[in-house]
Amino acid sequence: MSVLIIGSTALDSIRTPHSENPRLLGGSASHAAVAASFFTPVRLVGVVGDDFPKRYMNLYQRHGIDLAGLQILPGKTFHWSGEYELNMDNRRTLLTELGVFETFTPTLPKTHQSSPYVLLANIAPSLQSHVLDQMRRPKFVVADTMDLWLNIALHDVLALLKRVDAFVLNESEAHQLTERYNMLHAAREIHKLGPRYVIIKKGHNGAMLSGPSGVFLAPAYPLDCVVDPTGAGDSFVGGMMGYLAATGGPVEKKIRRATIYGSVVASFCCEGFGLTRITRVKRRDIDRRVRELERLVRW
């Protein structure tokens, strides 16, 4: 089954101690859509400006991503610029130019309104809710977020949480939202806010899934070389949703394996700048790395 993905579609300029990479294809929806596309058809909802490079349109299309929901507006594409420190964990934002994003209102084509799987990738929570308003009884809705929205739009985040099946956030965001240091406690608090599933991302330490049948500790695939972690979290949730949508059936039976697939797709994302590495990956590479990860945690 297809998955609908709404989020940011951006140009990312990424600086690391070793290199500078201007105007890569980025944004939460781009990363999540490419990640999901390995498993299932994807419908992308977003906005770009009329400066958006044709080659990136081609990239989406090569991944079979349905662009009927991608608005192209006069003006500039959202541009983000950031810099990583040597440890590749600490990141600082150098620049944010919203461009056409400033006035973006996602409007779903009629065909998209009955998508069974919905991924509300990182974007303002009011826009995530606005998309949900247009959906007809989706089967499974996942929302991602970032610290910015917890800071400036907490009320909107809380309203959204009542309407989603799963919520994805990282450790520091979980602490920020719940004031709990212990991630079991944080997950419990977030469940009370609505979602049946809570997924707390821990970067290279994997992720913790909390759901109706308890906790699952998902490992991260250990990487020999992290080139650029930008979009790893989006790839994780995109891969997870793609896998869930592809396999269908009861979510509870698939979600553990789905987080493993998400984790592995995210590992490929980190091995190149922007989407450069992941767009050269084949489904069989992902399956191979999942099997390898199985061996890395078996005792």
How long, in residues, is the chain?
299
* Helical axes 28-37 vs 251-270, angle rounded to 10°: 110
Bridge partners (DSSP) of residue 235 are none
Q: Decide whether 214 or 249 has the Cβ nearer to a copy of itself.
A: 214
Chain residues in the site for a copy of itself (CB under 8 A):
86-88, 181-185, 202, 205-206, 208, 214-219, 222-226, 256-257, 259-260, 295-299
> What minimum distance in Å lies between the beta carbon of 292 and a copy of itself?
10
> What minimum distance in Å lies between the beta carbon of 18 and a copy of itself?
13
| Straight-line distance from the first to the last Cα atom of the chain, in angstroms, rounded to the nearest whole number | 35
**In sequence order, what E strands does 62-213 have?**
65-73, 79-84, 91-97, 117-120, 140-144, 166-170, 197-201, 207-211
Q: Decide whether 18 or 298 has the Cβ nearer to a copy of itself.
A: 298
> What minimum distance in Å lies between the beta carbon of 225 and a copy of itself?
8
Beta-sheet strand order (sheet of 117-120)? 65-73, 42-49, 3-6, 117-120, 140-144, 166-170, 197-201, 207-211, 214-218
Q: Decide whether 142 or 207 has the Cβ nearer to a copy of itself.
A: 207
Cα dist from 222 to 6, 117, 225, 239, 270, whole Å: 29, 29, 9, 17, 11
> What minimum distance in Å lies between the beta carbon of 159 and a copy of itself?
30
Q: Decide whether 142 or 260 has the Cβ nearer to a copy of itself.
A: 260
> What minimum distance in Å lies between the beta carbon of 173 and a copy of itself?
15
> What minimum distance in Å lies between the beta carbon of 43 and a copy of itself?
28
> What minimum distance in Å lies between the beta carbon of 148 and a copy of itself?
23
Q: Decide whether 67 or 142 has the Cβ nearer to a copy of itself.
A: 142
Q: Decide whether 67 or 255 has the Cβ nearer to a copy of itself.
A: 255
Beta-sheet strand order (sheet of 79-84)? 20-26, 10-15, 79-84, 91-97
* Sign of the dihedral defined by the CA atoms of residues 287, 281, 117, 197, in that order: positive
Q: Decide whether 111 or 172 has the Cβ nearer to a copy of itself.
A: 172
- Quick one: which H or E segment has residue 251? helix 251-270
- Quick one: which H or E segment has residue 179? none
